[in-house]
């Protein structure tokens, strides 16, 4: 049990460090909170929103890990280091765009209906 708690503590340190050092992670948390609140307010499917949030968070943390490892092991500019960082950033971009598309499909109709009811 002690090992489990140590593992959780290390993971929490990783989240805390990401919050403190990764601007995009903080932006993604803000977007995730807005999407979650909107899904609750509109009474739409919360599950797809939460899945998208977790996928984007995970990809951002993996991206940050890859960037840190590349920076640790590379001096100066190297084409393979750039490629590794670009690929990791592209993974975040893909999950973000995919999540945006899912958000539009899940939240869009209910939001449009709510807006039209106000008019």
Q: Which amino acids are annotated catalytic?
A: 60
Residue 102 to residue 32: CA distance in whole angstroms: 13
Give the DSSP letter of residue 76.
Answer: S
Residue 43 to residue 36: CA distance in whole angstroms: 10
Residue 85 to residue 107: CA distance in whole angstroms: 32
């Amino acid at each position: 049990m002690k090992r489990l708690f140590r593992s959780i503590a290390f993971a929490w340190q990783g989240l805390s460090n990401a919050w403190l050092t990764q601007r995009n992670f903080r932006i993604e948390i803000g977007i995730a909170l807005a999407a979650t609140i909107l899904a609750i307010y509109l009474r739409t499917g919360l599950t797809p929103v939460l899945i998208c949030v977790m996928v984007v968070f995970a990809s951002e943390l993996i991206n940050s890990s890859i960037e840190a490892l590349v920076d640790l092991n590379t001096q100066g500019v190297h084409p393979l280091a750039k490629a590794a960082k670009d690929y990791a950033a592209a993974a975040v971009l893909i999950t973000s765009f995919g999540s945006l598309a899912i958000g539009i499909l899940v939240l869009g109709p209910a939001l449009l209906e709510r807006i039209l009811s106000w008019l």
